[in-house]
Every structure is written in C-alpha cells, then in structure tokens.
Structure 1
Amino acid sequence: MKLYLSFFFLAFSYNSFTQPNCNYFLNEGDTLKYEACLQTENAKGHYQFSKEYQIAMDKAIKIDPTFAYPYRAKSVAYLKSGDFIEWKRLIDLAVKYDPLGNLGYRASCRYQFFRDYGGTIVDIEELLRISNADIGHSANGNYHLQVVRALCYKALGRKQKAIDLIETQLQAEGYVIGIYDYIHLGVLYLENGDLSNAKLNFKKQQDYNDLAENHFYMSKVFKAENNLKKAKIELQKAVELYEIGYVMSDPYVHPVDKIFWSMIKVEQKSLN
C-alpha cells in the first residue's frame, strides 16, 4: 500500500509555498520587493486567519502592490473559510503579478473546490505555454496538473482526450505515478468500452495502491464480460477494503470516481 504518498505530497505541496528568500530580490536590485518581502516575515508564527498575519501581508502589499506572494498568502485563509469571492480576487492578483508561480495553484483549486473545468483547463494550458519546465502537481499533491487537465476534459465529455493526456503523462521521463492515476485511467477505458485496457490499469492500480474503488470498477469489467463469478469476487474485495477505510479520499471534497456504500449495494443487487 502506498497511501503514505498522499500525505507526503499534501505536506510537501503546502510546505513548498513558504516565505520567499528576500535576499533574492535584493540581489536582483529590486529594493521595493525586498522591503515588501521583509515585511511579510512579520507574519511568521501567526495563524493565517489572525489579524497579525493579515496586517503583515497588507503592509507588504502597500509597499509593493505588484508583489504576488502576499496576495496568495492572504487568499489561503479565505479559501479555507469559504469566502470564495475574496479568495478569487486575491488569487487573481497573485496570478497577474506572477503567473508562472500561481497559475497551477489557481487551476488546481478551481478544479478541486469549484469543479470549474473550463477555467482549470485554461489556466493549465496557459501555464504549459509559458513554462519551460514540468508544470508540477495540484495544491493537494494528489495529481499532476496534466492529470487534472485530463479529468476536466473527461467531465466535459472528451474522454479520449482525457485518456491520451493521462497515457502521455504516465510515460513522461521521471514521472512519479499518482496515487489514483491508474484508477482514473481504468474508469475512462471502462466508460469507453475498452474492457481490456480497463482491466490492465486496474491490475496496475492493485499492485501500486490497492483501494476499494479499484475492485469495485474491476467488478464492473467482469460483469460486462458476463463473468459474474469473478465480478462477485471483486465486489467482495471492494467491500472488505471499504470497511477498513482503504478508499479514495480528500479532506475537502469527494474525488472523481470515488465510491459510496449505496453504490456497492446497487452492484450487489445487480449480481444476484
């Protein structure tokens, strides 16, 4: 089981957004951003929702209104508290002043929290256009942004486009497989009627990070092949993993292709 990867990426993705090195701006000769950056250091030790934290960022913005970091830093509290209008205003300013550093974050949030598929695609494709390096992962660390892009295309009905994007990403040099990549790809093939490739990817998922969803959808493959005996065996495995909590998860939203007990019950009835 490789569930630990989700916690690693989650910690990494949030910890990677840290206080910038103020000396960088000084070395670049940008004394205004240097002063603004120093001001943001006054937020250290304060919670994002606290008055002290927000004031420190406001003062930095006053020193240099084009400094992207404090806009994004301020926005996090509004996202967590559900004030999405203020979050959007602030993150849009962060993107305006540093698109390379913030487009990926805005895109992943648009997908994760708002299911803004079209907006997410626009952000990721703009990031691909301006970036000369790997565009990185979603804010929660669960997905490479190309997989996020693929899931958006799936939601918009372009399943073959989604398959092609994930397959290409899986073959990218040095790519670390995402914890749910094979499940999503398998489901896409299943929905497209390609049972052979669906089965292949569910087997890969089982070897990499076995989850209840994987066996649930494998059961559907066997049912489509009229192999009810194997379908029942796979569904029982799904039940066992579901009961001990080996399922797709996200602390804020329900992931795409996640299963629920009601779905298992429906499948059980269909196999009787």
Structure 2
Amino acid sequence: MKYFNLLMLLFAFSSSLAQPNCEAYKYYGDTLKYEACKKAMEIKGHYQFSKEYQTVLDESIEIDPTFDYAYWAKSIAYLKSGDFVTWKKLIDKAVEYNPKEHLGYRGWCRYQFFRDYKGAIKDIEKLDSLVDYDIGQTQNGTYHLNIAKGMCYKAIGEKEKAIAILEKQIKLNEEENFVGAYDYLHLGVLYLETEKFEKAVETFKKQSENNEVAENQYYLAMTYLKLDKPTEYKSCLDKAKELYIGERRMTDPYSNPMDKIYLENIENELKTAYNNGYK
C-alpha cells in the first residue's frame, strides 16, 4: 500500500508538470508564450495520435517556435508509436528550449526504451549541473533519477560506481521515507555481482520488508548459494516461485526492467537444486 500511494503521488506530480500554467507566462509579460500556451491547451479531449491533436500543437509552435511544451507534447505520440527518429527530433527541441524541464525525461527514455546508457547518464548529469534542487523522479515514478543513473553505470560495467550512487541516493530516500519500489533489489544484485554477499543478504531483506517480489527472493537464493547455505537457498527459490505465480514480480508496461527474472529462471534453478540433493 505504501508503494501504491507513492506511485499515485508521483503520477499526480508528473501530470501537473505536464500542463504548464499559461497565466504564469502572462504574469511575467511573455505574451507570445501565453498565446502559444493557450493554443496548446486546446489538445484537451483529443487523442494523441489524432490529426487534431498534432494540428493544435503545430499551431502553438507557429505562434512561438521556442515553446518547449508543444514539442514535448507532440513527441509523446511518436514515442508510443515507435517512430523514434521523429520523437528524438521533437524532444531535442524541447530540451534545447527548456533543458531543466526535459533533460530528465529524455534521459529516462534513453535508458528505458533505447538502452542508451551513456546518453542517459549525460542527460541526468547535465540536469544535475543546471539545478540547485533535487532532480526528482523518472517519468514513470518508479525511480529517483539518480537510481536510474546508477543502473546506467552498472549497464556499462562500472559496478562500483553504480553501488556508490545507489547507496548515496537510497540513504537520502530513507531519510525522506520515500524509498523506491525496487531500490534495495537493484543494490542487492550489485552487491551479489561484486561478491559482497553479506551486504547483499542484508539489502534483500530490506527489500522484503518494503516490497517483496519474486526477483528479490530469487537473487537472495543465489546469494545463499554463494554462502553455502543450501536450506535457505532452496527455501528462497520456493518462495520466488510462489511470488511469481502470484504475480508479485517486477513489471513495466513498456520494457523489461533491469534485474527482472522469469518463471523459467526459477524453475531451472529449482531443477538444479533438486539434482544437487537440495530438497
């Protein structure tokens, strides 16, 4: 329930960011952006893939070619439809005109959809250099952007750097009582991969306390195997299968999350456990 409330809060937050306050432009005397913004708000009620939706945003851009929101809003349909070339052109324009608002989004998309880890790191670190406040969450609300950055460093082989980044951000998240749904899991896997087995066990147990999923029990099992604790190893595998069948597992509607496992992985490991006499 804690994570449901967290995600709902983040969804509301990201949704509020998605719609600019047109009156703010008027207040600060930017009448051109005010008019472009008012025009852009006419997309309400139109399907993102419709001609009407795109035409409204084109007209907004004609009013003010530097209005970043219109480029960003246009880009969404192209991302969802798989036209990544057009998406990139549009989101690059949005970043050009308002980097603080859109660098984090572009960086997350680079990670989530394209596995462009170096590009994602570049965007997130650039955003961090531009602002003196917390850079915030990924677009889907699952991770803090620094957690995403750490996973990118893991993906390019810099695991110790990834650990340092995740440790630092998780500590900050703990202070705010705002730990991400899979933060401990990813850190635990990094500890496992770098043979810090006792730390891995400790971190996987924290994940269990906060948001138990099949992946967590699977990796905990693999850690116990490394520690030569066959009883715990087999018990965690059984629990992982139970959780997986009960749909308590990592999910993402658009891509496969890092460190995700499948029922086949669990069952193959259970077969290995059985063949080795771990019953």
| Residue in structure 2 matched with residue 123 of structure 1 by the alignment | 123
Greater length-normalized contact order (CA 8 Å, ≥ 6 residues apart): 1
Unaligned runs of 5+ in 1: none
Residue-by-residue CA offset, 1:9-30 (whole Å, 9 max, x unaligned):
6633652343211111111111
| Residue in structure 1 matched with residue 29 of structure 2 by the alignment | 29
| Residue in structure 2 matched with residue 200 of structure 1 by the alignment | 202
Deviation at 1:33, TM superposition (A): 0.6
TM-score norm. by structure 1 comes to 0.96
What letter matches 1:177 in structure 2? V
Query: Aligned with 1:171: secondary structure?
Result: helix
Deviation at 1:229, TM superposition (A): 1.2
| Residue in structure 1 matched with residue 46 of structure 2 by the alignment | 46
CA RMSD of aligned residues (A): 1.4
Q: Of 209, 224, 227, which residue of structure 1 is paired with 2:226?
A: 224
Residue-by-residue CA offset, 1:199-252 (whole Å, 9 max, x unaligned):
011000000001111110110111111111110001000000000100000011
Unaligned runs of 5+ in 2: 275-279
Deviation at 1:59, TM superposition (A): 0.4
| Residue in structure 2 matched with residue 250 of structure 1 by the alignment | 252
- Indicate if the aligned counterparts of 2:146 and 2:166 stay in contact, CA closer than 8 A: yes
Aligned-partner Cα distance in 2 for 1:5–1:64: 38
What letter matches 1:229 in structure 2? T
TM-score norm. by structure 2 comes to 0.94
Query: Aligned with 2:105: secondary structure?
Result: helix
- Indicate if the aligned counterparts of 1:6 and 1:142 stay in contact, CA closer than 8 A: no
Percent identical across equivalent pairs? 50
What letter matches 2:221 in structure 1? S
Deviation at 1:269, TM superposition (A): 2.3
What letter matches 1:84 in structure 2? F
Residue-by-residue CA offset, 1:158-193 (whole Å, 9 max, x unaligned):
111011001100122426100000000000000000
| Residue in structure 2 matched with residue 71 of structure 1 by the alignment | 71
Of 105-114 and 171-180, more deviation after overlay is shown by: 171-180
How many pairs are equivalent?
272
| Residue in structure 2 matched with residue 60 of structure 1 by the alignment | 60
- Indicate if the aligned counterparts of 1:9 and 1:142 stay in contact, CA closer than 8 A: no
What letter matches 1:189 in structure 2? Y
| Residue in structure 1 matched with residue 277 of structure 2 by the alignment | none
What letter matches 2:171 in structure 1? Q
Aligned-partner Cα distance in 2 for 1:108–1:205: 23
- Indicate if the aligned counterparts of 1:187 and 1:217 stay in contact, CA closer than 8 A: yes
TM-aligned CA distance change 1:80 to 1:10, over 3 Å? farther
TM-aligned CA distance change 1:6 to 1:216, over 3 Å? farther
TM-aligned CA distance change 1:68 to 1:192, over 3 Å? same
Residue-by-residue CA offset, 1:82-123 (whole Å, 9 max, x unaligned):
111111000000000000000000001110111100000000
- Indicate if the aligned counterparts of 1:71 and 1:90 stay in contact, CA closer than 8 A: yes
TM-aligned CA distance change 1:91 to 1:253, over 3 Å? same
Deviation at 1:5, TM superposition (A): 4.8
